[in-house]
Amino acid sequence: MAFTIRQLQYFVAVAEKGAVSRAAHTLAISQSAVTEAVKFPEADLGVKLFERHSRGLNITHKGHQFFCATQPQFFQRYPGPDERYH
C-alpha cells in the first residue's frame, strides 16, 4: 500500500463532497485528476471505495473504513489546502 498524500487528499475530498465535480472544484483541479487519484487506492487495495451513480458517488462500507483510518494520522500531519495558510 503506497498512496501519495495528494491521492489521500483527493479521496477525502470526494468522500466529503460526494461527487468528483464538487471535490475538483474545492481542490481547484480537474475532474480527471481527481478521478485518476481515486482509482489508484481502489486498485491497490482491491476494493471499491465508492459506488458510482449518475448524481455522484456514495462511499462504500470499505471506503468508509478507509476514510476513518486516514483521518487521525493524515490530517494531524498534513492539513488540507484551506488550513495551510491560516
Q: Quote the CA–CA distance of 50 and 65 in Å, as a whole number.
A: 12
The cell numbers describing 71, all together, are 483521518
pLDDT in tens, 22-71: 999 999 999 999 999 999 889 988 999 999 888 878 999 999 999 888 77
In DSSP terms, 56 is beta-bridged to: 53
- Give the DSSP H/E element, type plus range, for residue 21: helix 20-27
> Could you give all domains of the chain from N- to C-terminal order, each with its CATH number?
5-77 (1.10.10.10)
* 47, 60 contact by CB (below 8 A): yes
Q: What is the predicted pLDDT for the residue at 85? A: 37
